[in-house]
Amino acid sequence: MAEPMKIRASMNGDSADVKCLMSHPMDTGFVKSAKTGGLIPAHHITNVTATINGKVVLDAEWGGGVSKNPYLAFRVKGAKAGEKVMINWVDNTGDKNSAEATIG
C-alpha cells in the first residue's frame, strides 16, 4: 500500500490552484544498490489522473525520469469553490494511490 498523498486546492480568481506531493521512490532501474551492488529494480509512477467532480482535467504519462517524491502543481480554469479534486496514480508494479481535496 502506498503512503498517503498531500493535496491542496484553492481558488485564485476564476481558477483553482491544485498542489500535490506524492510519496514514491521513483526508481529508474539504472541505479546500483550500495548494499548489494546490484541494480535496484525500476519502480516509478506511470500514469497520473486528476478529476474535478468526476471530470478529467489532467491525464499524464510519467516515466523513470521524474524525481523521488514528485510534486505536481497545476491550475484549472472554471473550477468552483466547494468542488472535489481527486488525484490518482498507478505505478509500473500495479500499485495505486489516490487523494481527494475540496477546493477552498
Residue with more model confidence, 16 or 3: 16
Cα separation of 80 and 77, whole Å? 9
Cα separation of 52 and 9, whole Å? 11
CATH number of the domain residue 42 falls in? 2.60.40.10
Q: What is the pLDDT of residues 11-68, one digit of tens each?
A: 999 999 999 999 999 999 999 999 999 999 999 999 999 999 999 999 999 998 999 9
Residue 52's domain comprises: 6-102
pTM value is 0.91
Asked whether residue 88 is assigned to any structural domain, the reply reads yes
Q: How many structural domains comprise the chain?
A: 1
Say if residue 77's pLDDT is above 70. yes
Asked whether residue 1 is assigned to any structural domain, the reply reads no
Asked whether residue 60 is assigned to any structural domain, the reply reads yes
**C-alpha distances out from residue 67 to 4, 16, 18, 27, Å:** 17, 25, 19, 9
